[in-house]
Structure 1
Amino acid sequence: MYFTPRRYAFTPPPEADSVVVVGAGPVGLALALGLARRGVRVTVLEAGDSVCAGSRAICLSRHSLEVLERLGVGERFAELSLPWTSGRSYYRDTEVLSFDMPSGAGDAHPPMVNISQSVAEQVLVDAIEATDGCEVRWRCRVVDCTRHDDHAVLEVETPEGPVRVRGDWVVAADGARSTVREALGLRLDGTSYEGRYVIADIHWPAALPTERRVWFDPPSNPGSTIVLHRQPDDIWRVDYQLQPGADPEVETDEQRVRERIARHLDWLGDDRPWTLEWTSLYRAHALSLDSYRHGRVLFAGDAARLVPIFGVRGLNSGLEDADVLAWMLAAVVDGEAGPALLDVYATERRDAWCQNVAEAEKSTLFMTPGTRGYELTRDAVLALAGRRPALRELVNPRQSSATHSRTSPLTLPCDAPGLRPGDPVPDRVVRTSAGTSSLNSLRGRDFALLGFGVATAELGEAVSALAARTGVGVRGLTTGAGGDHPAVSAFDDVGGALAAEFGAGPGEVFAIRPDGLLFGRLPDFSGAADVADLIVTGGHR
């Protein structure tokens, strides 16, 4: 059955709150939940009366699943999503690429899952409703924003008339057409691509495997590109490219959409009946603000930047925004760090956009060649890829992977081989005295000191000292033994496999941020003081 969002009644917003988030999309909701989990009061203002309709951003990466686990909704997402690991690409009716994303028994999560954005948003809303200090105010349309030295003021239209809402901090997570961004006179700069795609959800009880399938110039729709993704409950996502010069209004007519999809399903030889549930239109953009912080107003998700849909980086990057901003903003609100830490957020996340665009632009030019020359080159590569394996890398969809913060002022540089400071720390299944767990589960949403072959009691002392110096939550993880400490969890690194993967030496300590990025690699516990200084000063050495 296709998901139907529930409707919410209007409740007047408060006159003021510590943090006000504009927009109840997945990024705004995840940020609000992350702040509330850290004890920060937050109000979300949403113009509509429900979560979104339709699948929209359906692919969540392994790293996003770690973010959701830290928010306390990981199990619910696992119940409602559909994992997948592989994909195929075809030129006309010939397979030219088959790929498998890295996945093994030691991984705590699958490389990718599919779940409708509307369902994902509802899970987050349900979690917020069960969380103290966090509320969504529906039917509250923000129409203006004014910045002040120590707060920002939002003008809000409601069913009971206009009101003003003051936020010590305001986060604009109100999407690609951000009202807050427009009110502050800010603009996104970058590249917009010519290609347009119709995207549709259909209910279709087909027996095809759960994998990403792409057809370039298929006989069913010559000159187009078609993408097919399975979702839970026999819902399938179909994306197909419009020809240059096609009238979007004509092409999004329901009968026209049915005709295009029916041609492809008939060509696949599957005559099972299907129903059209939802449609929309998409155009690829690679655009960003110059800065994601403007005084007391911060930007996240599509309000801050846009990345092309190909490679599924939009929502996954947005959840990274929420994950990073939640701990940094909470540290500032609680007085554990100065506002300069939020400049680090702005710097890191814009650099993450650059990383994403560098990969996404390659996929976008392949999926939507902007000129006849690009199209001819793309088609030549596709025609030869079946016989020339070396060309298949050009067909690679370059699926989303977590971004790094290697150049951040909050990263302690290190030349040691293995995991580099700023890299995301892979979540791995581990064995403790209580049973099977994972690094992410043991660490939770706190900072962590991960010691290799370090005594539990000794690591516990370093954890306590770091927590006392910064005021933030810190957990200890160790592969060693020797005493007990309430803030340290010991686990068995069987055969030294984790140390080998991370490139860790005996006695080395990895400092891990709340968002799962590697803060630094410390040869001994004395380096913990440097970690504390960077947290408190916001990266100023």
Structure 2
Amino acid sequence: MSTYYQPCSYTPADFDSVTDSALPVVVVGAGPVGMAVALGLANRGIPVTVLEAADQVSFGSRAICISRHSLEVASRLGFGDELEELVLPWVGGRSFYRRHQVMEFTMRSGDTDVRGPMVNVSQSEFEQVMTDKLLAHPLVTLHWKSEVAGLMRDDDSVTVEITTEFGTRRLRAQWVVAADGGRSRMRELAGLRMQGTSYSGSYVIADIHWESELPAERMVWFDPPSNPGSTIIMHQQPRDIWRIDYQLDPSDDADLETQEPRIRERIARHLEWLGDDTPWTLEWHGFYRARALALDEFVHGRIVFAGDAAHLVPIFGVRGFNSGMEDAETLVWMLSAVVHGNADATLLAAYSAERHASWQQNVANAGKSTLVMSPGTDGYRATRDAVLALATSRTEFSHLIDPRQSSATHAHFSPLTVELDDVLPGLQPGDPVDDRRVVVRTAHGDVESTFGNARGSGFSLVGVGLSDAEASALVASAADLAARLAPESVTAVVVTDGACLPREGLAVIDDAQGWSASALGARRGEVFVIRPDGLVLTRTLDRDDLVAVADRVASVDAGSGRTARAGVPSGGDPAEVHREHVWLGLSDAIDQVDADDREGFFTRLALVLGSQVGRREFDEAIALASDPVPGELAETPSRLGETPGELVAD
């Protein structure tokens, strides 16, 4: 029996227009991003009205992979516990070329991590948990079946015209947050267009109910015998729901391929090839094209764009949903400061700059993954296939197939981030701070907790190795900062291996295991200022710098963004960086060469490169290039056994 989630429908809203005065904030779109914004603002005492065109949460899995950082956001917004009761954790995955395993990855996960690197749960269920929180919040009003049809703007407000089942309504707001998705009506009404790249690859997305014993991991098959020439991705979800994505050939008729009989046929072939005859049912399906697009600016007057309404990233690496949750958390504390009068509107320019830069970070990784998953040119298709063939016997090429899973982005070059005078080890201003398990000292003894719980959901001042007198000064600084940023909380935290005692207004973390040195890279006496969204604003030994934090938040110089500095390591294994450079450069070169001259191009390239290595290395390279997949297996396995890994015991 299927356990596929079926959302309930809500009663269409009937409400009065509000035009004489202005509501503080109207959020357009009750998807994950819009609801996260609404919850975050309401938790800071700001009444929020949410408009949703549908009468239920989204149907279908849609985004299923939730990152560790998004789980932290959920915890800070107050629905982390409910969410974690539903999810299915996973830590890695495998990729196959035909029948050969060519890549296996495990995401970073340590004993002190509070949460695993990634979990799976349908977007529909994620949204339902958020909806239940919104409906119970006294400062949130959620209007179902309320579609924005028009906009009127002036210097200090925005009026939205709304189509309801009871007629047209108008709401005037000081600020409007547009979080209405990739087909944003708000973006259209504002006369804005996103810029960037649309990739040629198309994917069918399907959810099936299938009681399989395959592991909960990301599995990808390139050119599988079940669907030659295609790429197939599989993910397990809770309650025996499996997500299957498969690529269509450019010559395929998309209208035909997205009909249920054809989808069933494709999936059945793959499951049969996997050797599993367990009955299954098709529950939901969709269609997807990879795009990397964004607005040039995310703030337009008093309309602020977030999530897919502001930017789109390719599906590979699961960055769309997770980057949208980052958008929401960053926007929440910044817009709250503006609404409460603790900052002027230039702070939102920092939001726009930071989140556009984060989109670029995501595109840099997701774009590379897309060039592997769905190469759109002859050059990238040729090099992708060559990398896959080589990776069957030369594991050093496997990293090029890595999906580059979503991770928290940085704000190194934000106009809000305070640049350091010296290059220091450890966390840099703009870096995200991972949550981890810690021991917190209390008046009643040591208690196992987390760094996130100790520092709270607002600003935090984290001092390392402070004396009692310095700890008292830190508490006073936190109180002064809180008075200026209210209702934003400011928590004083001391990380120490000494005898610093807990007291009112101070959380004390026992640092006997040396966390401050390993994770923070901290100097004794140093203070880290951490923003509500978990990013380091600055780190300093100078207490006067703490006084300046409120001034920096209150009025941001939007043109003061940092630039990259020499001496800051870029990271990455040099050999892997070089191979990536070779892959990208060769792909582009192939696309630039006349199609009739490609054989000549490769011959000339081989002669030039061959003359630069020794005879033995050249002979080995010739042999490998001649037979990259030694002992090619038969096209159809007799049976896979329990897992696809048994395919590849060659």
- Residues 221-240 of structure 1 aligned to structure 2 (within 5 Å): 221-240=227-246
Residue 475 in structure 1 maps to residue 491 in structure 2: yes
Residues 203 and 287 of structure 2 are in contact (CA less than 8 Å); yes or no, is this contact kept in structure 1?
yes
Q: Which amino acid aligns with 1:446?
A: G
**Post-superposition offset of 1:487:** 2.2
Which residue is 1:267 aligned to? Answer: 273
Residue in structure 2 matching 1:300, options 306, 311, 314:
306
TM-score normalised to the size of structure 1? 0.98
Structure 2: how far apart are the matches of 1:484 and 1:220? 63
Q: Mean alpha-carbon deviation: is it higher for 5-14 or for 418-427?
A: 5-14
Residue 506 in structure 1 maps to residue 524 in structure 2: yes
Q: Deviations over 1:179-236 (max 9, x none)?
A: 1111111000100011000000000010011100000000000000000000000000
- Residues 68-467 of structure 1 aligned to structure 2 (within 5 Å): 68-414=74-420, 415-433=423-441, 435-454=447-466, 455=468, 456-467=471-482
Structure 2: how far apart are the matches of 1:121 and 1:10? 18
Which residue is 2:512 aligned to? Answer: 494
SS of alignment partner, residue 196 of structure 2:
strand
User: Residue 507 and residue 13 in structure 1: after superposition, are their counterparts in 2 closer, same or farther (change >3 A)?
Assistant: farther
SS of alignment partner, residue 239 of structure 2:
coil
Alignment root-mean-square deviation, CA = 1.2
Which residue is 2:640 aligned to? Answer: none
SS of alignment partner, residue 383 of structure 2:
helix
SS of alignment partner, residue 453 of structure 2:
helix
Q: Mean alpha-carbon deviation: is it higher for 373-382 or for 99-108?
A: 373-382
> How many pairs were matched up?
541
Structure 1, unaligned runs of 5 or more? none
Which residue is 2:11 aligned to? Answer: 9
Q: Deviations over 1:154-179 (max 9, x none)?
A: 11000001111111100100111111
- Residues 524-535 of structure 1 aligned to structure 2 (within 5 Å): 524-535=542-553
Q: Which amino acid aligns with 2:234?
A: L
**Post-superposition offset of 1:144:** 1.5
Residues 186 and 289 of structure 1 are in contact (CA less than 8 Å); yes or no, is this contact kept in structure 2?
yes
Structure 1: how far apart are the matches of 2:414 and 2:35? 26
SS of alignment partner, residue 491 of structure 1:
strand
Structure 1: how far apart are the matches of 2:142 and 2:255? 34
Residues 500 and 508 of structure 2 are in contact (CA less than 8 Å); yes or no, is this contact kept in structure 1?
no
Residues 477 and 547 of structure 2 are in contact (CA less than 8 Å); yes or no, is this contact kept in structure 1?
no
Structure 2: how far apart are the matches of 1:84 and 1:301? 25
What percent of counterpart residues are identical? 55
**Post-superposition offset of 1:389:** 1.8
Structure 1: how far apart are the matches of 2:131 and 2:455? 25
Which residue is 2:42 aligned to? Answer: 36
Structure 2: how far apart are the matches of 1:491 and 1:484? 9
Structure 1: how far apart are the matches of 2:126 and 2:493? 31
Q: Which amino acid aligns with 1:452?
A: V
Structure 2: how far apart are the matches of 1:539 and 1:429? 37
Q: Deviations over 1:371-393 (max 9, x none)?
A: 23321211110011121122111
**Post-superposition offset of 1:526:** 2.1
Q: Which amino acid aligns with 1:534?
A: R
Structure 2: how far apart are the matches of 1:159 and 1:196? 36
Which residue is 2:622 aligned to? Answer: none
Q: Mean alpha-carbon deviation: is it higher for 448-457 or for 312-321?
A: 448-457
TM-score normalised to the size of structure 2? 0.82
Structure 1: how far apart are the matches of 2:500 and 2:241? 53
**Post-superposition offset of 1:539:** 4.7
Structure 2: how far apart are the matches of 1:488 and 1:252? 58
Q: Deviations over 1:126-159 (max 9, x none)?
A: 0111111012100001112222100101110000
